[in-house]
Structure 1
Amino acid sequence: MIVTLIVICEVGFWVLLAAGLGARYVLRKPRLGVALLLCEPVLEVVLLIATAVDLRNGAEPNWTHGLAALYIGYTVGHGHRTVKWLDGLAARRFDGVEPPRAPKYGRERAAHEGKVWLGTVTGAVTATVLLLLAVAYVGDGARDDSLWAWIAQAWKITGIHGLVALWYTLAPPKAPAGQDDWGNDLTDGPREHQRTGKHL
């Protein structure tokens, strides 16, 4: 049941995202678009409640409950970034507005990678809290080994991502001659909208 709900939530995420962006850029109803996008957290609440009920009804804690926690953690840590990125693509497609781009080189790229990693940390913290609550909810040390294993998995992923971010900090790629940290040709003049443009 939990795996099915994860699939439903994932599909629902993309359906609501497409509907929200469609309302915003195709129908030209930005308020409706925002309302549809704000419905997305409801999916995570549904999944959280279903997972708790499943455990409460005596289900054996297993990988499905851990996966549900990691899925919710990912949404908390990186969901907004995903929505913002796709909103930028929609703005370029329908309004001709160049979306903000991530820097490619130098300290700016290192800072960007650090921010993305912080999203992963946020996701790991969220998943850990949910899994610890599940452990307390189950209240049986003989049945919660899989939940502890998923906590370790969450922080393993975070550690690997942290090493990637650290590498960019210690050895940030250098911009080619004539380009800035965003990969823009300096002879074309500044393109501040690519760095600071906002859509959501």
Structure 2
Amino acid sequence: MTAVRQDAWSPDDDLILAEVTLRHIREGGTQLGAFEEVGERIGRTSAACGFRWNSCVRKRYEEAIQLAKQQRQKRNYMKKQTASATSHVSSIAVVEHEERTFRHEPLTEESLSVEAVIRFLRQWKTTYQELHRHIKALERDLKERDEQLLTLREENEHLSKEVNNVQTDYRAVNDDYKTLIQIMDRARRLTVLSEEEETKPRFKMDANGNLERIE
């Protein structure tokens, strides 16, 4: 049974998780199988590996994931072509045998092998050319995606700079606004004090020593 670990993930653990998961994607396996394999290697549960992959590691390997998927497509395509070529050779052998049986001609290993190989090679040449064109198309698509990714990165950097500039301008405006509020509040208090001083009654002393209010 795999032990349950509570310690933090190390860079080596993340690297193992990425390598195994990408290999499973490339070879047509499942991510669950990858998480189980990683869990056995580093002593963690497959659920913990899956959570770590989806929450953290996957974000750092988006380009590698896309490349692994393209490699998987190439691999599957080549398997199909190989299977088709093998089936074609088998069909040639069956037809050859039926034709020779119908003509009552002896079927020798040499005649069957040579003719079958010639037909197989011709068919494989066509298959190879189609596969080569398919690979070229995938390479062009990959190049276009790389260019798009580069453009998006440049746009992201430009937008990040603009966001930083806006944040800086916002902080400056906010500081100016606070300063203005303080000035307005100080002016308001001075106005109130001035009005209180103007409304306060004043007195003077007359010649007889009595206080007389000054209007």
TM-score by length of 2: 0.29
Larger helix fraction of residues? 2
